[in-house]
Structure 1
Amino acid sequence: MINKLKFVFLSIFGFIFFLMPFTINGERKIAISHIVSFVTGNFLDPFITFTAVIAWIVMIGTIVFMFFKSGNKFIDSVFKASPLNIVLRITGSFLYLMVINNWFAGNAFADMILDPNTGGVMAGDGGLLTTLYITFFVGILALPLLTHFGIVEFVGILLGPVMVRMFKVPGYSTIDAIASFVGDGTIGIVLTDNQYQRGYYNKREAYIIATSFSIVGIAFASAVAEELGFGAIFPIFYATIALITVILAFVISRMPLKKFPPTYYEGVKPVVEGIPDHKSRLQHAFDSAIRQADSAKLFDVIGEALKNIINIFVGFLPVIMAVGTLSLIIAEYTSFFTIISAPVVHLYTFIGYSKEVALAMAPASLAGFADMYLPALFISGSVSEASRFFIGVLAFTQLVFMSETGMILVKTKIGLSFLDVVKLFLFRTLLSIPLLIIITNILAALGIISF
């Protein structure tokens, strides 16, 4: 009985926490957005000090672990990194400290970093990382409500036949998809790669799943929605991401994909999916959910969540700071993004955006290849809600960003090359844009967002 209550009530509470907006002090937002507002409105200075301490730990720890190994598997996994990630972590941590402490002000090069339109966008009061530190801490602590107490298994088994018919992949893939939606896209990709190597998917199925369902998760989406001013309509924002992702998956699953034949990994024996003869699909789904709820021990779940937070704070946020700041400097002080995105400006003006708004949207449409947060940074100052919504959703449906998911896709055993990832980014972008044109116009017509 206790496990049934754990499954039902904790899963329902998870959905309420992440997806149901409610009003506090006249502002209608989801719970995470209210918490962000509360912390930044009441404890901003202590919180900035806390993040500065983290930045020092990351910078010093990364340097030390270049030459040192602790022997603790978890600590080593956190601080040991590839040469590229070492550079990005140290650079990002230093830039963060530089901006919040206003180091080297008056120096011409330093002033480019301290500019309110570059480093100032990323760090400090109102900075993106201030929002991300809070969002990830709260969101990752709460995510087990959706991932550990049975709802993934329940929905995954129930939707198995749908996955086979719509996307030509086994029902197991529902678990990968939900793990990405409620957790993190990298988790979904790693899970898919692991399942491919174990014989759950053939190469074609693994490609479809990894490139169609393993998007950035709900905690990340809520951070972007908050940055773009869509906390009040987050369910609509996230539902749009989900809808376009499903449509693109439907299209990709029906493409030839000659490079990815239906062969299994190194001759492993395929795992056959099935429902026990004496059970209905609903009963099997419910029983599997209850078993998962029973296996989820509170302290283990909290410990795992805290480890994930540490991994995000050490390995992800400094990378965002480095890539984001340097990209904003390029955008602010050079014509690089303007030049490469010039043809896209005409598209956006043609569909009804003003020239000023189109000039902001065009580079944001392509900047996501470097990092998923860059489009939001590029467009966050736009007066047009429709443009912010358009680019915010596009950044997710593009899927590939080289600071994380793109590199992970290349490293899997599925067989994607860097060129494959580039083609995937462009293909998903081209397919997403017309769908977003339709959706943003519908939402504007309904008065939900404005042009």
Structure 2
Amino acid sequence: MASKLKFIVLSVLGFVFFLVPFSIDGERKIIISHIVDFITTHFLEGFLSFTSIVSWIVLIATVVFLFYSSSSNFLNDLFKASPLNVGLRIVGSFLYLMVYYGWFESAALSTFILNPDTGGLMAGEGGLLTTLYITFFVGLLALPLLTHFGVVEFVGILIGPVMEKVFKVPGYSMIDAIASFVGDGTIGILVTDNQYQRGYYNKREAYVIATSFSIVGIAFAAAVAEELGFGAIFPIFYGSIVVVTIILAFITSRLPLKKFPPTYYKGKEPKNAEIPEGKTLFGHAYDSAITQAGQTRIGDVAKEAFKNVVNIYVSFIPVIMAVGTLSLIIAEYTSFFDIISAPLVYIYGLFGYSREVATTMAPASVAGFADMYLPALFITDSPSEASRFFIGVLAFTQLVFMSETGMILVKTKIGMNFWDVAKVFLYRTLLSIPILVVITNVLVAFNVLSF
């Protein structure tokens, strides 16, 4: 009975927390967005001091762990990384502190970083990373409500047969998809790679799953939606991501993919997931969910969630600061993004956007290849709600960004290289745009968005 209550109550709380908007003081948003507003309104100065302390710790510890190894595996895994990630963490933490404290204000080169439209847009009071710090802290602590108490098993098994028919992949791939949607895209990719190596998927199936289902999770989507002004319609924002992702997955599963044949990893025998004899599909899904809930200890889950927060603060946010600031400097002081995205200005003009808005949308459409958060930075000041929504959703449906998921895809055993990842980005961008034009125009027609 306790397991049943744990599954039902905690899962319902998870759905309410992340997906159900509430009106507070006239603002209708999901709970996590209300929490962000409350902290930024009442505790901003103290929270910014906290973020500066975090940046100091990341900067110093990353340097120290270049020469030192701890007896704690957790600390070693946390602070030891690839040379590229170490460099990005150090640069990102330093830049955050530089903006926060206003270091080197009189130096000529510091203008590029301290400009309110570059580093100033990223950090400090009103900085975009402030929202990320809060959202990740709250969101990752609450996320186990959706991931650890039976929802993944229940939905995964129940929808499994649909996955086989619609996407031509095994039914249990739904677990990978849910892990990505409610957790993080990197988790989905790692799960897929592990399952491929164990014989659950062949190479073709692993490619389709890793490049179609491993989307950035709901916590990060909530942060981006809040930044773009869509906290009140977050279910629509996230629902649009899901719709486009499903359509692209359907198409991807039917591509030739000659480089990724249906062969199993190192001769592994394929594994099959079957419903136990005498059980219905729903009964098996429900029993599996109850079993999962019963095996999960709340204390262990809370400890794991806190570790995930720490990992995000150390390994992800400094990278966003480094890549984001550099990209904004390039965008502000050069014509690089404008040049490579010039054809899109004309295309967006045909879709009804003004020249000014189209000029903002075009570079935002390609900037996501460097980091998924960049499109939001590029489009955040656009006066057009429709354009902010369009780019915000596009950033997620593009899937790969080289500061994280792109690099992880290259490192898997599936057999992808940099050019394969670049092709995925280009292909998903080109297919997402017409689909999003339709979705955005429908929302405009129903007065959900304005041009």
Correspondence 1:26-65 to 2 at 5 A = 26-65=26-65
1:269-302 CA-partner distances (Å, limit 9, x unpaired): 2111100012111111011000100111011000
In the alignment, the residues of structure 1 paired with residue 220 and residue 343 of structure 2 have an alpha-carbon distance, to the nearest angstrom, of 30
1:128 CA displacement: 1.2
1:117 CA displacement: 0.4
Aligned-partner residue type, residue 142 of structure 2: A
With normalisation by structure 1, the TM-score equals 1.00
Asked if 1:135 is matched to 2:135, the reply is yes
In the alignment, the residues of structure 1 paired with residue 202 and residue 102 of structure 2 have an alpha-carbon distance, to the nearest angstrom, of 53
Aligned-partner residue type, residue 347 of structure 2: L
Hey, what does 1:239 align to over in structure 2? 239
Hey, what does 1:322 align to over in structure 2? 322
1:106 CA displacement: 2.4
1:388-433 CA-partner distances (Å, limit 9, x unpaired): 0000000000001000000000000001111000011000000000
1:97 CA displacement: 0.4
In the alignment, the residues of structure 1 paired with residue 162 and residue 339 of structure 2 have an alpha-carbon distance, to the nearest angstrom, of 44
1:120 CA displacement: 1.1
1:192-222 CA-partner distances (Å, limit 9, x unpaired): 0000000000000000000000000000000
Hey, what does 1:358 align to over in structure 2? 358
In the alignment, the residues of structure 1 paired with residue 395 and residue 106 of structure 2 have an alpha-carbon distance, to the nearest angstrom, of 35
Hey, what does 1:155 align to over in structure 2? 155
Hey, what does 1:168 align to over in structure 2? 168
Hey, what does 2:286 align to over in structure 1? 286
Q: How many residues align?
A: 451
In the alignment, the residues of structure 2 paired with residue 21 and residue 199 of structure 1 have an alpha-carbon distance, to the nearest angstrom, of 41
In the alignment, the residues of structure 1 paired with residue 177 and residue 442 of structure 2 have an alpha-carbon distance, to the nearest angstrom, of 27
In the alignment, the residues of structure 2 paired with residue 13 and residue 65 of structure 1 have an alpha-carbon distance, to the nearest angstrom, of 39
Hey, what does 1:190 align to over in structure 2? 190
Correspondence 1:14-29 to 2 at 5 A = 14-29=14-29
Aligned-partner residue type, residue 221 of structure 2: A
Flag structure 1 segments of 5+ consecutive residues without an equivalent: none
SS of equivalent residue, structure 2 residue 109: helix
In the alignment, the residues of structure 2 paired with residue 439 and residue 284 of structure 1 have an alpha-carbon distance, to the nearest angstrom, of 36
Q: After the TM superposition, which segments of 4 or more aligned residues of structure 1 sit over 6 Å from their partners?
A: none
Aligned-partner residue type, residue 171 of structure 1: G
Hey, what does 2:414 align to over in structure 1? 414
In the alignment, the residues of structure 2 paired with residue 170 and residue 116 of structure 1 have an alpha-carbon distance, to the nearest angstrom, of 49
1:338 CA displacement: 0.7
In the alignment, the residues of structure 1 paired with residue 269 and residue 342 of structure 2 have an alpha-carbon distance, to the nearest angstrom, of 50
In the alignment, the residues of structure 2 paired with residue 411 and residue 98 of structure 1 have an alpha-carbon distance, to the nearest angstrom, of 33
1:52 CA displacement: 0.4
Hey, what does 2:115 align to over in structure 1? 115
Hey, what does 1:70 align to over in structure 2? 70
In the alignment, the residues of structure 2 paired with residue 56 and residue 42 of structure 1 have an alpha-carbon distance, to the nearest angstrom, of 24
Aligned-partner residue type, residue 278 of structure 1: G
Flag structure 2 segments of 5+ consecutive residues without an equivalent: none
With normalisation by structure 2, the TM-score equals 1.00
Hey, what does 1:84 align to over in structure 2? 84
In the alignment, the residues of structure 2 paired with residue 268 and residue 143 of structure 1 have an alpha-carbon distance, to the nearest angstrom, of 34
In the alignment, the residues of structure 2 paired with residue 231 and residue 57 of structure 1 have an alpha-carbon distance, to the nearest angstrom, of 31
Aligned-partner residue type, residue 168 of structure 1: K
Aligned alpha-carbon RMSD (Å) = 0.5
1:107 CA displacement: 1.7
Hey, what does 1:367 align to over in structure 2? 367
1:62-110 CA-partner distances (Å, limit 9, x unpaired): 0000000002111100000110011100000000001011111122211
